[in-house]
Structure 1
Amino acid sequence: MAQQTNAAGQKTVQQHKAPFRSDHVGSLLRSAPVKEARQKKAAGEITAEQLRDIENQEITRIVEKQKEISLDVVTDGEFRRSWWHYDFLEGLDGVEPFIPAEGIQFHNAKTKARSIKVTGKLDFTSHPALADYQFLHEIAGDATPKLTIPSPNMLFFGEKSDKGIYDDQEEYFHDLAQAYKKAIKAFYDAGCRYLQLDDTSWSLFFEEKGREVVRALGGDPETLPALFAKTINDAVADRPDDLAITMHICRGNFRSTWAASGGYDAVAETILDGLNLDGLFLEYDDDRSGNFDPLRFVKRKDLQIVLGLITSK
């Protein structure tokens, strides 16, 4: 809710539904105190509890700043994460951290070696992110707290177990969708009414280089988009009417560089007319993003599209 003033000078309260006119995808640059505390924790100089106390202080500070500039929505800036997707995915049942031979290759840059691996049947029972959200919820005040988590599609790009746990791809995607469905309910029960799924997987279908990566991982770039869409739709199906779910789609971001290029054309119809979401945040801030022709596939009047037209870089 946000206060406005009517013609008579009286303050009124207007209901808003996410995504908001003033919104942001959730990630903020980590502050110096958070980075310093993480280094100390890694060196054994402070405990996990001390690190969390510092994170709490910094998250409280940035939430107050977001409210100060009159944003309708606030996030924790993702200050608790070491990786934007691995931290959450590792919290699912059947997923464990994994150190590959190399990191993820971006344009003129490569990340540290880190990945995840499916080692058992996928499910959701509990998760550290629940406590993280509850803290944000408690300090949000009148603003709407937004939870941002990676899309279920991101798990596809982790390592595959050699134990033959999922020989059937459809069974894998079914269990993944059900795990996310349980997660969404758990976050809803904790008070979440605005959830954002972050997804860079779609960018692999934008150009042939990305489609080669899909094939190397054992996927078919012709049929995988439909499976991705079905997984998301199954995960968000039957959600409560007062829960808004959006998706942020980009081409990767690491040290101001990128992982993929190309317009949305190859999967535009799937994304814009095949996902049962309330809104989409689409990266559109450079020549690598293609033109606006794919937007012709937007058919639903209730689907909110937010175009990221200007880069902060």
Structure 2
Amino acid sequence: MAPPFRADQVGSLLRPKSLVEARKNSTLKWNRLRAGPSTDASTNDDNTGTTDQSSDPLVTLRNEQESAIKDVVSEQLERSILPIVTGEFERGIFYGNFFESLSGFEVRYTPMENFKKDFPTNRPLAKWGVPGRDAGYPTAKKVTLEKSAYLDDWLFFRNLLPADQVKNAKMTVPPPGWWHIQLKQPFSPDLFPSDEALLADLSAAVRKEIMTLYDHGLRAVQVDDPNLSFFCDEEWITTCKAEGVDLDRLLELYIKSHNDAIRDLPSDLRVGVHICRGNFPNGVGLASGSYERIARKLFNETEYKLFYLEFDSPRAGDFTPLKHLPVDKAVVLGVVTTKYAELEDLNELKERVYQAADAIAEGQGRAREDALRDNLAVSPQCGFASDHSEGGVGFSRERMWEKLELVKRLSEEIWPGWNGK
């Protein structure tokens, strides 16, 4: 299955300084702030995003947010960058707003000792002396999504696009098990009888969110789950074994939760999963290790047809795991880094794509040309700013655009004319 975009992007973009400052000055950190006025999907499908001027910090944030999204969408259209994204400017962090929108669920401050020992996300935080952070927990015996987390944002975004470009828009959603994997006790046994029961509710909520967006015209969705890469991290694996954590069972749980969230979706909805190793401010990574540990299960037991994988540095390992990729699935190679501003050499990137194609072709018993045609695309390895703070080391917004243009040039060198130009 050929990927829908030969040049892709993960989702988050560097925010303008005015937007960063507006969020810092507001009372919001990771919490929701919709793009435009709150709408009810059953009554209002025309979100123009107009707001009143006010000195209220939240109104200032909303105005900055709307302006920044309009500008970044316009820039992508002008540069012919696909797919088109909002840069996640409407969120404080890439998974933001979804879990806060669930009924029977809350996100609250959690001391570090309540997280699984040596959980990779917490390593840099521990070094920085952070005593705790937010985490999500069920508060009732049923967790549901009563009102879409992202519909207002999508309607605002959609109305900025020419009609013929709506099909090229993409939004991201978090995975069902985002908080579950991180916590020593992710739920009270008084509320849920098992991990499976909680994850079933969360998967249903993610699926409902995806279908709501689809019903209003979105045709490309990316599920962001960097936590899956932690099953490749030797340090965390060693700690889990010492703590008696059954990683094989956990991986099975999360594969099922992903499959439940995306099973039986419409055939014209393009859904992929992004699995990188984290991208904290200033390029701080969270994990390392080859995808080989999870590749067979990832490619063969999940329902995904499209995988966004990190291959920009040695921490990701080589392309050997791609030999497990089935003929009818595809990988978007994250070969351009968002961790550092240095611009990659185009010819070296081309050679890396050919190496990946050779690994796929070997596993499938086919030729390089077959793998290039059916199984590959290229992208940055991660977003440029996964939260509302700074991005990678030395990055400017102009360098960000240069990186995206490099991805586009790389795709045009390997797949000439793929975007109709």
TM-score range, shorter chain: 0.7 to 0.9
SS at match of 2:312: coil
Q: 1:100-133, CA deviations, whole angstroms, 9 ceiling, x for partnerless residues?
A: 1248323855767222222222221113421011
Give the aligned partner of residue 13 of structure 1: none
Deviations 1:11-42 (A, max 9, x none): xxxxxx86401220111111112112113323
Instruction: Provide the rounded CA distance (Å) in 1 between the counterparts of 2:143 and 2:110.
Output: 21
Aligned-pair CA distance for 1:87: 2.8
| Match among 177, 180, 185 for residue 203 of structure 2 | 177
Q: Which residue does 2:26 correspond to in 1?
A: 41
- Structure 1 equivalent of residue 276 of structure 2: 250
The alignment covers a number of residue pairs equal to 296
Identify the residue that residue 123 of structure 2 maps to in structure 1. Answer: 105
Establish whether residue 147 from structure 1 lines up as the match of residue 167 from structure 2.
Answer: no
Give runs of aligned pairs for residues 270-289 of structure 1, distance below 5 A: 270-289=297-316
Q: Which has the higher contact order (CA 8 A, sep 6+)?
A: 2
Which range is displaced more, 192-201 or 272-281?
Answer: 272-281
Higher strand share: 1
Tell me the alpha carbon deviations over residues 227-262 of structure 1, each in whole angstroms, 9 at most, x when there is no partner.
211111121111111110011111111111111111
Following TM superposition, by how much is the alpha carbon of 1:140 offset from its aligned partner in structure 2, in angstroms? Answer: 2.2
Match of 1:92 among 102, 106, 110: 102
Q: Secondary structure at the match of 2:111?
A: coil
Match of 1:50 in 2: 60
String of CA shifts for 1:199-252, please: whole Å, max 9, x gaps.
111122102332356679985201221221111112111111111001111111
Q: 2:333 aligns with which of 294, 301, 307?
A: 307
Question: Which stretch has the larger CA shift, 226-235 or 282-291?
Answer: 226-235
Q: What aligned pairs does 1:6-21 form with structure 2 within 5 A after superposition? A: 19-21=4-6
Alignment CA distance shift 1:217-1:56 (3 Å): farther
User: After alignment, is 164-173 or 154-163 more displaced?
Assistant: 154-163
Distance 1:253 1:216 in 2: 27
Decide whether aligned partners of structure 1 residues 124 and 217 sit closer, same or farther in structure 2, where only a CA change above 3 A counts: farther
Q: Does 2:8 match 1:23?
A: yes
Percent identity (aligned): 31
Residue by residue, what CA displacement relative to the aligned partner does 1:247-305 show, whole Å, maximum 9, x if unpaired? 1111111111111111111111111222212311100111111121111110133x221
Post-superposition offset of 1:308: 1.0
One-letter code aligned to 2:91: R
State the secondary structure of the residue aligned to 1:93. coil
1:310, distance to aligned residue in structure 2 (A): 2.7
In structure 2, C-alpha distance between the alignment counterparts of 1:204 and 1:213, rounded to whole Å: 12
Quote the Cα distance in structure 1 between the aligned partners of 2:86 and 2:175.
Answer: 18
Change in 2 beyond 3 A, CA 1:139/1:212? farther
Q: What is the one-letter code of the residue matched to 1:99?
A: Y
Q: How big is the alpha-carbon RMSD for the aligned residues of Structure 1 and Structure 2?
A: 2.5
Q: 2:229 matched to 1:211?
A: no
- Matched AA of 2:123: Q
* Counterpart Cα distance in 2 of 1:169 and 1:163: 10
User: Conserved in 1, the CA contact under 8 Å of 2:173 and 2:206?
Assistant: no
Tell me which residue corresponds to 1:136. 157
TM-score by length of 1: 0.86
1:149–1:197 Cα contact (<8 Å) kept: yes
The answer to whether residue 148 in structure 2 is matched with residue 116 in structure 1 is: no
TM-score for the superposition, normalised by structure 2: 0.65
One-letter code aligned to 1:41: S
Cα offsets for 1:164-211 (capped at 9, x unmatched): 212312212222222222121111112111000001111221023323
Counterpart residue identity of residue 75, structure 1: V
Aligned equivalents of 2:212, 2:239: Cα separation in 1 = 33
* Residue equivalent to 2:287: 260
Q: 1:284 to 1:179 in 2, by over 3 A?
A: same
Q: Contact 2:219 / 2:269 at 8 angstroms: preserved in 1?
A: yes
Q: Distance in 2 between matches of 1:90 and 1:249?
A: 23
Q: Distance in 2 between matches of 1:158 and 1:92?
A: 19
Equivalent in 227, 231, 235 of residue 261 of structure 2 = 235
> Any conservation in 1 of the 2:85–2:171 contact (CA below 8 Å)?
yes
Q: Do the aligned partners of 1:233 and 1:275 also contact (CA within 8 Å) in 2?
A: yes
Letter in 2 for 1:92: L
Distance in structure 2 (CA, Å) of the matches to 1:237 and 1:219: 28
